[in-house]
Structure 1
Amino acid sequence: MSDNITSNNPSLEDVIAEAVRSGLALVHTSLPGVVVSYDSSTQLAMVQPIVRFRRRSTSTGSLETYIPPPIPNVPVVWPAAAGGALTLGMVPGDQGQLMWAERSTDEWRKTGAADCDPRDTRRHDYGDAVFVPGGRGADDPLPADAYHATATVLYGATDVLLGDSTATDKVALEPDVQGQLDALAAVFNAWIVVPNDGGGALKAALGVLTAGGWPTITGATKVKAK
């Protein structure tokens, strides 16, 4: 059996195989895609499938490849539940995986209900896609500081915000805090109690410490929390 019908007198086997291939061409499952645009307020993106589609030329009858149209209003799948969410700053050019639903998702997208009866009978339709960010080609791996062999890495190219998107307070880093506490401890350890001075000697020692800019905790350069 040939891959494509090339004869003017094809066999029944070839005709059936061609019909099956034509039907499967309309069954969308999963493909890598690239973000064209993204609306963070709605979590909807326009996504362009990366892999070309194939169709039979109406003029020559031969198979040809073509670039499918971008898909608008594609829901972006972020890890989320009632207790919180993990989102990323997604921009045009970011890649991921497009996945198509088996049935119409119109009613679910409108209501978010746990039980939906689709009014449209379409199956594996091109418009019923969701997008999962994170796909990368072999020539574009994550940077080395984005992963660790034995640890979980929350990597951010710019800021990492904890709590919600309005977080502005820098997270204190252990070496900074420990250094400031050590400096304070050194003052107390060196303090010589002077009877009846009302703590004047300690106040003077602390004055020297604070005059030098203590405390000088700078905080994390990327991580902010609230």
Structure 2
Amino acid sequence: MSGRGEFAEQVKETVNNMLAQVHTCVPGKIVSFDGSTCQATVLPAMKIKTPKGEMKDYPQITGVPVVFPQSSAQGATIAYPVKAGDGCLILFAEQALDQFLYDRDTGTDLKFDLSNAVAIVGIFAKGNSVMAEATSSNAVIVDVKGTRVKVQSGLVQIDAAAVKINGNVTITGDLTVTGGVVNLN
């Protein structure tokens, strides 16, 4: 091999070794979740290759912000329980999260480091019947062990043993009742 070919191979090997240390995203599992801080401990579900070529388990990562649909400025949040074992996608930020999380820069320069993880809950290896139904009926379904709200074009269906409404109710249109009407006054 010529000197030029050897140099090109060395550059290629150096670049590949550097890229092996860049983390982008991996699937994982929630180990624990703190709803008051919206942070989790997560465990990546993949292996990592060391510079020596060994395959090792990723370590648990603590203090990981979890993504939820919300607008804190508007006071709007969609929240749901996050439990150990739930699937998640773990993303690694290109800069330290210190400024975002703690409103201060710690001077760390850990690009794509494991300590700069963010988790999106909801990635799973297999689908479920609720997801299949939502897809086939073109609906949004919120289902908690069979108690559900299903929203489709022109229809909102609630299936529950009881429905409690706090506040005034206005109905425009017909009211059909199957069963008794109870007046609590």
**Structure-2-length-normalised TM-score:** 0.72
Deviation sequence 1:50-71 (CA, Å, 0-9, x none): 11111243xxxxx221101010
Distance change >3 Å, CA 110–CA 94, structure 1 → 2: same
Q: State the Cα distance separating 1:99 from its structure 2 match.
A: 0.8
Alpha-carbon distance between aligned partners in 1 of 2:100 and 2:107, rounded to the nearest angstrom = 11
Indicate conservation of the 8 Å contact 2:24/2:112, yes or no: yes
Distance change >3 Å, CA 74–CA 158, structure 1 → 2: farther
Alpha-carbon distance between aligned partners in 1 of 2:102 and 2:26, rounded to the nearest angstrom = 25
Indicate whether 1:88 and 2:87 are aligned: no
Partner in structure 1 of residue 97 of structure 2: 105
Alpha-carbon distance between aligned partners in 1 of 2:113 and 2:51, rounded to the nearest angstrom = 20
Alpha-carbon distance between aligned partners in 1 of 2:36 and 2:78, rounded to the nearest angstrom = 14
Q: State the Cα distance separating 1:158 from its structure 2 match.
A: 6.8
Q: Which AA in structure 2 matches 1:16?
A: V
Partner in structure 1 of residue 163 of structure 2: 170
Task: Give identity over the alignment, percent.
Answer: 24
Unaligned runs of 5+ in 1: 1-9, 58-62, 162-168, 181-213, 218-226
Distance change >3 Å, CA 66–CA 171, structure 1 → 2: same
Aligned partner of residue 108 in structure 1, secondary structure: helix
Q: Which AA in structure 1 matches 2:21?
A: L
Indicate conservation of the 8 Å contact 2:130/2:143, yes or no: no
Q: Which AA in structure 1 matches 2:27?
A: P
Indicate conservation of the 8 Å contact 2:27/2:123, yes or no: yes
Partner in structure 2 of residue 48 of structure 1: 43
Indicate whether 1:152 and 2:140 are aligned: yes
Counterparts of 1:129-144 in structure 2, within 5 Å, are 129-137=117-125, 140-144=126-130
Alpha-carbon distance between aligned partners in 1 of 2:55 and 2:87, rounded to the nearest angstrom = 21
Aligned partner of residue 91 in structure 2, secondary structure: strand
CA RMSD between the two structures: 2.9
Distance change >3 Å, CA 56–CA 79, structure 1 → 2: same
Distance change >3 Å, CA 118–CA 102, structure 1 → 2: farther
Q: Which AA in structure 2 matches 1:155?
A: D
**Structure-1-length-normalised TM-score:** 0.60
Q: Which has the larger radius of gyration?
A: 1
Aligned partner of residue 102 in structure 1, secondary structure: coil
Q: State the Cα distance separating 1:117 from its structure 2 match.
A: 5.9
Indicate conservation of the 8 Å contact 1:27/1:125, yes or no: yes
